[in-house]
């Protein structure tokens, strides 16, 4: 068998499911983490894994977590020999941090763009998000910082005059309380007031949702792992259904396959998806396995019931949590271009690239 045949024999069907999705309500107090999990188990491997459970036709975390036997079965799956980097990739997002990131993307970026500054160059968007998150949690008056985040979410969900006034009232309050040298982080938010109606006009009900961005990350990671186009089987998703035409656009671009982005933060275009199916998870055991993986991770982060401490610790200590190929959207102390591996400034802005592709296709 030639090497190319070996590549082709590897399973390129990817099963995807999520946990912790609260849509635009990114600051939901009971769901603080969003997880999109995926696997490429073969039919034989799926049969082996589902044999762990008594009811092999429907294995859902929500039901299994309620009994000792169910929890034991979940832990057995998470520690199985098949739980490896070859078979599983997950995206895990800290939703408060992601909310700050959305303020950077939706409010700060347009202001800096008008000043001729590309905030994505050298990872400045990541630096700004980390700075605001840490100042908000550890240096600024935390309650005022939280009110700003709440007001942002309320504004993008409602887009009313009252919600805009409330957002800038909180922004002004935080700006005045911040030390002078820290106000530079908040100044673009203050300056955005003159264009906020235009900004909000471009935001729809799924703009700040984490599903689409996580979906693209997963697809790109699988393509790079398998070096082959992939077939996606995903639990029915309103967000992916909404963006299906957009996904078709990015996978049908009439260009040579290429990496787009800056330095270490790149993604492959055209999107390397052969086929995308949105299905009912009850008919696909591969999707149910991704549900168990995603829900286990989300439960570990979100659960605060002391009665479930043992179960949470078993998840933390499982083989699943020892895997190294997670992609995390998470606060960190990495703020310099060198720390972010983005010091070269090589590449191109993904948003500019996609806008140009749309112009080339539609002539607008």
pLDDT digits (tens, 9 = 90+) for 107-150: 999 999 999 999 999 999 999 999 999 999 999 999 999 999 99
Contact of 32 with 95, CB cutoff 8 Å: yes
b or e along 201-213 (b: 16 or more beta carbons within 10 Å of the residue's beta carbon)? eebeebebbbbbb
H helix runs in the chain, sequence order: 3-9, 43-50, 61-64, 68-78, 95-103, 109-114, 124-138, 142-158, 161-177, 183-191, 196-201, 211-226, 238-242, 244-251, 285-302, 309-316, 350-362
- What are the φ and ψ backbone dihedral angles of 345, each rounded to 5 degrees? 70, 30
Written as six digits, the tokens of 102 are: 């959305």
Residue 37: strand pairing partners? 17, 90
Read off the pLDDT of residues 49-70 as tens digits, 9 standing for 90 and up.
Answer: 999 998 777 798 999 999 999 9
Rounded to whole angstroms, the Cα distance separating 125 from 171 reads 19
Contact of 285 with 59, CB cutoff 8 Å: yes
Read off the pLDDT of residues 100-109 as tens digits, 9 standing for 90 and up.
Answer: 999 999 999 9
pLDDT of residue 7: 39
Rounded to whole angstroms, the Cα distance separating 205 from 209 reads 8
Contact of 170 with 136, CB cutoff 8 Å: no
């Amino acid at each position: 068998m030639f090497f190319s045949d070996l590549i082709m024999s590897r399973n390129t069907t990817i099963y995807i499911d999520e946990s912790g999705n609260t849509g635009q309500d990114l600051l939901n107090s009971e769901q603080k983490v969003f997880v999109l999990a995926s696997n490429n188990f073969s039919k034989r491997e799926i049969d082996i894994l589902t044999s762990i459970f008594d009811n092999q036709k429907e294995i859902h975390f929500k039901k299994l977590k309620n009994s000792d036997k169910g929890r034991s079965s979940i832990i057995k799956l998470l520690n199985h020999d098949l739980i490896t980097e070859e078979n599983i990739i997950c995206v895990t997002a800290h939703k408060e941090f992601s909310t700050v990131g959305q303020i950077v993307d939706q409010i700060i970026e347009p202001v800096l763009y008008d000043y001729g500054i590309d905030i994505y160059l050298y990872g400045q968007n990541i630096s700004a998000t980390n700075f605001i998150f840490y100042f908000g949690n550890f240096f600024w008056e935390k309650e005022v910082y939280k009110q700003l985040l709440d007001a942002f979410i309320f504004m993008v969900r409602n887009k009313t005059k009252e919600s805009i006034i409330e957002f800038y009232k909180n922004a002004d309050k935080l700006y005045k309380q911040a030390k002078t040298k820290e106000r530079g982080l908040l100044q673009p938010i203050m300056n955005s007031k003159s264009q906020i109606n235009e900004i909000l006009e471009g935001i729809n009900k799924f703009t700040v949702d984490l599903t689409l961005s996580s979906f693209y990350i997963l697809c790109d990671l699988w393509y790079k792992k398998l070096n082959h186009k992939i077939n996606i089987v995903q639990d029915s998703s309103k967000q992916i259904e909404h963006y299906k035409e957009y996904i078709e656009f990015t996978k049908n671009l009439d260009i040579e396959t290429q990496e787009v982005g800056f330095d270490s933060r790149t993604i492959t275009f055209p999107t390397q998806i052969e086929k995308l199916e949105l299905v009912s998870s009850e008919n696909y055991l591969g999707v149910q396995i991704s549900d168990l993986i995603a829900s286990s991770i989300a439960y570990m982060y979100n659960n605060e019931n002391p009665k479930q401490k043992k179960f949470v610790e078993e998840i933390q200590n499982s083989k699943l949590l020892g895997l190294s190929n997670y992609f995390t959207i998470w606060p960190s102390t990495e703020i310099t271009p060198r720390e972010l591996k983005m010091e070269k400034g090589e590449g191109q802005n993904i948003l500019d690239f996609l806008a140009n592709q749309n112009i080339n296709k539609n002539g607008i």
